[in-house]
């Protein structure tokens, strides 16, 4: 009797526990990237937090797909992107208020504000491709899967986005250039796993 109960417990609980652990580990790796991406699209930290929560609730409900780490990452950002687009489409977007007024803004902050404005002005796909590349460190292949486009489209859209940002931020980039330049990789939350 006791053995049968234990066997039943194993059958009922172990798959669930392993699934939750898998999702939690994956969540810990991807949480910040998803949040940053959503924050830029939906405009405010509160909505981005809610949507980040929603993304991982959906992930936990659906279960992790039998795919590589790359495939899973692309899948999560695809969910995040669809949620964000629906959120914006439903008119929930509240842009972060930026009051320039008479406040003296430091040069770095000025670039930050200008960059945010320029990113918001990009076409949706260009913006998403750029954010997924620079803020989450997704590869071209992952971005293509997340945005449901080809890799060639990713290349061209990324180039267009950078050209547009460069044109919009020209003076601010010039100021920054005086401080010098260094070679840096895009932000990646998963560096510790790739090494």
Partner 1 sequence: MDGFAVIDAFVDGERVDAAALKHALSEPAGRDYLVDLWLLREGVQEEMKADTAAPPVTLPTRSPRNWLYAAAMFVCLVGGYAIGYQMSGPGSPPAPVTPPVTASQPASPAPAPAPLAAPVPTRVITVQFAADTTSGGGD
What is the number of alpha carbons within 13 Å of residue 73 lying toward its C-beta?
24
Q: Is 52 in the site for partner 1 (CB under 8 A)?
A: yes
Q: Is 105 in the site for partner 1 (CB under 8 A)?
A: no
Q: Where are the alpha helices (DSSP H) in the chain?
A: 2-42, 45-62, 69-89, 107-120, 124-134, 140-147, 151-168, 170-177, 191-194
In the complex, the smallest distance separating the C-beta of residue 124 from partner 1, rounded to whole angstroms, is 18
Residue 44 in tokens: 């405010």
Residue 180 in tokens: 């010098």
Stretch that binds partner 1, among 54-62, 69-77, 82-90, 120-128 (CB under 8 A): 54-62
Q: Is 3 in the site for partner 1 (CB under 8 A)?
A: no
Q: Is 41 in the site for partner 1 (CB under 8 A)?
A: no
In the complex, the smallest distance separating the C-beta of residue 71 from partner 1, rounded to whole angstroms, is 19
CA distance 47 to 39: 8
Site for partner 1 in 120-149 (CB under 8 A): 133-135, 140
Q: Is 8 in the site for partner 1 (CB under 8 A)?
A: no
Nearest CB to partner 1, comparing residues 105 and 111? 111
Q: CA 62, 41, 96, 94: dihedral to nearest 10 degrees?
A: -70
CA distance 36 to 77: 11
Q: Is 7 in the site for partner 1 (CB under 8 A)?
A: no
Q: Is the CB of residue 82 less than 8 Å from the CB of residue 147? A: no
Residues that bind partner 1 (CB under 8 A): 13, 16, 20, 23-24, 27, 31-32, 34-36, 39, 45, 48-49, 52-53, 56-57, 60-61, 108, 111-112, 115-116, 133-135, 140, 155-156, 158-160, 162, 165-166, 169, 172-173, 176-177, 181-187
């Amino acid at each position: 009797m006791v053995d049968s109960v234990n066997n039943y417990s194993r059958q009922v609980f172990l798959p669930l526990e392993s699934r939750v652990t898998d999702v939690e580990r994956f969540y810990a790796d991807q949480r910040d990237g998803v949040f940053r991406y959503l924050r830029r699209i939906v405009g405010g930290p509160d909505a981005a937090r809610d949507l980040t929560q929603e993304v991982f609730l959906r992930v936990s409900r659906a279960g992790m797909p039998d795919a590589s780490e790359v495939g899973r990452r692309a899948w999560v950002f695809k969910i995040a992107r669809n949620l964000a687009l629906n959120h914006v489409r439903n008119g929930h977007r509240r842009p972060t208020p930026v009051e320039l007024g008479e406040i003296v803004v430091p040069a770095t902050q000025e670039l930050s504000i200008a960059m945010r404005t320029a990113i918001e002005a990009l076409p949706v796909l260009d913006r998403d491709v750029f954010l997924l590349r620079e803020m989450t460190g997704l590869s071209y292949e992952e971005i293509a899967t997340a945005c449901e486009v080809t890799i060639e489209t990713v290349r061209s859209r990324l180039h267009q986005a950078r050209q547009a940002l460069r044109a919009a931020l020209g003076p601010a980039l010039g100021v920054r250039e005086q401080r010098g330049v260094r070679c840096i990789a895009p932000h990646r939350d998963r560096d510790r796993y790739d090494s």
